[in-house]
Chains A and B, each alone.
Chain A
Amino acid sequence: MENISEVSLLGKSVVALENFTPEEIRLVLDTAYGMKKIICRGGDKKLSNLRGKAIINLFYEPSTRTRTSFELAGKYLGADVVSINSGTSSIVKGESLRDTLRTIEAMGVDAIVMRHKAEGAADYATKVVSPVIINAGDGAHAHPSQALLDLFTIEQKKGRLAGLKVAIVGDILHSRVARSDVYAMTKMGIDVHIAGFKTLLPRFFEFEGVTVHENLEDAIKDADVINVLRIQLERQQAGLFPSTREYARVYGINEDRLKLAKDDVLILHPGPQNKGLEISSEVTYCKQSAIHDQVQNGVAIRMALLDLTLNGGTK
């Protein structure tokens, strides 16, 4: 893309993709290609781009892949990375988010990677402290690095983004992945279809470029990509569907349903999967499944985000 060098993310917080231009998204993806090569090259993966920079992972919610992924991304780039879990910090002593952030800031960190249950928490952090804030998930609002790695995975496998039909299926209502995907994908020209039981769809969801379906089959028909969202088991207890068995029967992605999509349909899942619920084991491990690639691409995307926001990129 032309004039790409004029786009810079240096010093920019990554709160949500509604604040990103298509050119900025392009820059992240292009940077991630280089990072992926480094991860795959074998031998020494350590770069010095972020040497002398300090990154804090501040996670108020449990996470395996996102936290580890950010931690490795920072370390591969040469930064010092410290992870804080809310359960073993002064947060359990009742410290406010503002005070925790200010304390971390006072230690001289350059970036705070943050996951929090409350929608808007990462944006709030940008108002309270000056380091770059990378949102690693805020409630049901946004998970920008996940959406970027979804785009990256799709582009790698399909060779393009614009014009593809992507179906996002499952628990849209509670999904920060879905909300970030919707912004990221529509900005890149993808035809987005979301689907879920009406109890799992946000009411009044209106978004240009997004078609909302209650019926799963309508959404996945002729899809190039199906992104299967995780179904949290507590949603059943909250009365949003009667049983995991019925959910799997009516809405689970299995091999039969895949036949409705294009032959070369790509399967994504942000993980962790509930196999036999929203996705069958066969589909998880089928040849069109890119679920494993997503994990590796996640490290590349997070390296790109950290390098671009803290170092301005390496170009």
Chain B
Amino acid sequence: MNQTWQIQRGDEINYKSLLIRGGRVIDPANNFDGIADVLIVDGKISAVKPNIDFAADCQFDATGKIVTPGLIDMHVHLREPGQEAKEDFLSGSKAAIAGGFTTVATMPNTTPNVDNAALVRAMVKRAEDVGLINIKIIGAVTKGRKGLELAEMRDMIDAGAVAFSDDGSFDDNAKIFMNALDYLHDTGKVIICHEEETSLVKEGVMNEGKRSALLGLKGRPTVAEDIAVARDALLAEYTGGRLHIAHISSARAVEIVRDAKRRGVKITAEVTPQHLTMTEDLVNPVDASTKINPPLRTQADCDAMLQGLLDGTIDMIVTDHSPHAPEEKDREYMYAPSGFPGLETSIAVLLTDLYHKGKIDLPTLIAKMTAAPAQVFNLNAGTLSIGAPGDVAVIDTELVWTVDADKFYTRGSHSPFVGRQLKGRTVATVVGGNLMKLNQI
């Protein structure tokens, strides 16, 4: 199958109103699920109801498709500043549009790390200049992400940072991390934590399990994640600070979060499509596309991720979109960097492996990618409420296509989903009323 998808930008047509007609509108923030039209005027949601009678400048027929708030991804690596060979805000924005995402939050583990207000301001400006989607900036918790001294987080909040994270590393120093929770306590800002205790995952490149035992690859055990989640949950409970667990992957860690929530701890969690659907059995050291941190685990862990998602222990789905230049990934497994691009495959994988297999219903799935992240991170997004930003995704749940890295908008190439036939795809993404159709040519 040779499919090329082209983003056709509506802003070249210059219209003021857009009417998306006849789709199944799923807006979890308003508990709405039904056939309706969505009218966007001057970049804001103007009406959501059946058979809107309005002579819009632009119309899009969504019959047979689902129409949702623009998807939100609170965990991407758009690699600016300094790592533009992997991705930049423009290539990353196009990848987001291709996946139905209208708001993404980019991580600060760049070169240099985004750990001060000047850099946050520069990145906010850069996001505005690119202007295709809403790119939110996450600042570092500690200077240089070294885990030794707090970064100037209040300056960064004033400059526009939406959250803080030393993602990519675990802050081994418990005292510094406790200080961070305390320091941000009155701000309402959330700390997003990469939870793998450092000494237990040193040199590890895949899950420690049956497969690593046979392959001889060094392992990253689940207990490294469990310890980290447990420590941080206890510190969040003790301080009253707001903690968000990044890319949770271990069944035991889900139990810890569930227990912490029951105790009233201000803890939330996210999971990726890969940790919901793929296992260590896919790891073959010939191809580093499966190399990610935390690593792909076991089927029992995948099952626990789904259970956690369904019972509310896990609040949201993120991609952990982590592109690398092709030559960086095309090498020995142990030397290749961790991560792969996920924005363009996320919704398709989730529809294929969860929705079409009857494991999750559409309103729940969409809530985890819209209303939930908007609520946890206090974003003006993720809803089709009247007056909200005109951000919409139109998704064809039945469209079958094959993932082809040559057709990616991201600069990343190596993804374990490459070559898979998926069922479901974003066909149009609307940002601030600007319709971007994904035309198959």
Among B28-36, B101-109, B324-332, B339-347, the one that faces the other chain is B324-332
B213 touching A124, Cβ below 8 Å:
no
Q: Which residue of the partner chain, among B209, B327, B333, contacts A119 with CB atoms under 8 Å?
A: B333
Does A116 have its Cβ within 8 Å of any Cβ on chain B?
Answer: yes
Does A305 have its Cβ within 8 Å of any Cβ on chain B?
Answer: no
Does B264 have its Cβ within 8 Å of any Cβ on chain A?
Answer: no
* Most central of B212, B214, B216, B284 by chain A CB within 10 Å: B216
Q: Which residue of the partner chain, among B219, B331, B333, contacts A203 with CB atoms under 8 Å?
A: B219
Q: A120-B215, A139-B216, A204-B213 are in contact. Are A97 and B286 (CB under 8 A)?
A: no
Does A230 have its Cβ within 8 Å of any Cβ on chain B?
Answer: no
CA distance A127 to B212 in the complex (A): 21
Does B285 have its Cβ within 8 Å of any Cβ on chain A?
Answer: yes
Q: Which residue of the partner chain, among A98, A124, A179, contacts B285 with CB atoms under 8 Å?
A: A124
Within the complex, the shortest CB–CB distance from A46 to chain B, in Å, comes to: 36
Total A-B pairs, Cβ < 8 A: 72
* B219 proximity list for chain A (CB < 8 A): 203
* Most central of A140, A174, A202, A207 by chain B CB within 10 Å: A202
Q: A96-B327, A141-B215, A176-B216 are in contact. Are A120 and B333 (CB under 8 A)?
A: yes
Within the complex, the shortest CB–CB distance from B225 to chain A, in Å, comes to: 15
Closest to B283 in A: A120
CA distance A139 to B205 in the complex (A): 13
B214 touching A119, Cβ below 8 Å:
no
CA distance A207 to B327 in the complex (A): 36
* B284 proximity list for chain A (CB < 8 A): 120, 123
Interface size on B, residues (CB 8 A): 22
Closest to A175 in B: B216
CA distance A179 to B211 in the complex (A): 12
Within the complex, the shortest CB–CB distance from B204 to chain A, in Å, comes to: 12
Does B208 have its Cβ within 8 Å of any Cβ on chain A?
Answer: yes
16 A-B residue pairs with Cβ-Cβ distance under 8 Å, sorted by A, are A117-B334, A118-B285, A118-B332, A118-B334, A119-B217, A120-B217, A120-B286, A121-B332, A124-B286, A124-B331, A127-B286, A139-B334, A141-B215, A141-B216, A203-B209, A206-B213
Does B377 have its Cβ within 8 Å of any Cβ on chain A?
Answer: no
Contact bitstring A90-129, B, C-beta under 8 A = 1, else 0: 0000001110000000000000000011111101100100
* A207 proximity list for chain B (CB < 8 A): 214
* B334 proximity list for chain A (CB < 8 A): 117-119, 139
Main secondary structure of the interface of A (DSSP, over half): loop
A119 touching B215, Cβ below 8 Å:
yes
A119 touching B286, Cβ below 8 Å:
no
CA distance A188 to B218 in the complex (A): 28
Does B210 have its Cβ within 8 Å of any Cβ on chain A?
Answer: yes
* A206 proximity list for chain B (CB < 8 A): 210, 213
A179 touching B214, Cβ below 8 Å:
yes
* A140 proximity list for chain B (CB < 8 A): 216-218
* B335 proximity list for chain A (CB < 8 A): 118
Interface residues of B (CB under 8 A from A): 208-210, 212-219, 221, 284-286, 327, 330-335
A124 touching B216, Cβ below 8 Å:
no
B285 touching A204, Cβ below 8 Å:
no
CA distance A203 to B221 in the complex (A): 10
B216 touching A96, Cβ below 8 Å:
no
Within the complex, the shortest CB–CB distance from A67 to chain B, in Å, comes to: 20
Closest to B330 in A: A98
A124 touching B210, Cβ below 8 Å:
no
* A142 proximity list for chain B (CB < 8 A): 216
B285 touching A203, Cβ below 8 Å:
no
* Most central of A120, A174, A176, A206 by chain B CB within 10 Å: A120
Interface residues of A (CB under 8 A from B): 96-98, 116-121, 123-124, 127, 139-142, 174, 176, 179, 202-207
CA distance A205 to B208 in the complex (A): 10
A120 touching B285, Cβ below 8 Å:
yes
Within the complex, the shortest CB–CB distance from B18 to chain A, in Å, comes to: 48
* A119 proximity list for chain B (CB < 8 A): 215-217, 285, 333-334
Additional pairs, 11, CB under 8 Å, beyond known A120-B333, A205-B213: A96-B330, A118-B333, A118-B334, A119-B216, A121-B285, A123-B284, A124-B286, A141-B285, A204-B208, A204-B209, A205-B210
A97 touching B331, Cβ below 8 Å:
yes
CA distance A140 to B334 in the complex (A): 12
CA distance A263 to B109 in the complex (A): 62
* A123 proximity list for chain B (CB < 8 A): 284-286
Within the complex, the shortest CB–CB distance from B5 to chain A, in Å, comes to: 28
CA distance A120 to B213 in the complex (A): 14
* Most central of A117, A124, A141 by chain B CB within 10 Å: A124
B214 touching A120, Cβ below 8 Å:
no
CA distance A117 to B216 in the complex (A): 11
Within the complex, the shortest CB–CB distance from B280 to chain A, in Å, comes to: 10
CA distance A174 to B215 in the complex (A): 11
Within the complex, the shortest CB–CB distance from A139 to chain B, in Å, comes to: 6
Ranked 3 nearest A-B pairs via Cβ: A120-B285, A140-B216, A118-B332
Closest to B218 in A: A140
B333 touching A202, Cβ below 8 Å:
no
CA distance A225 to B216 in the complex (A): 24
CA distance A104 to B332 in the complex (A): 18
Q: Which residue of the partner chain, among B210, B218, B330, B331, contacts A204 with CB atoms under 8 Å?
A: B210
Within the complex, the shortest CB–CB distance from A240 to chain B, in Å, comes to: 13
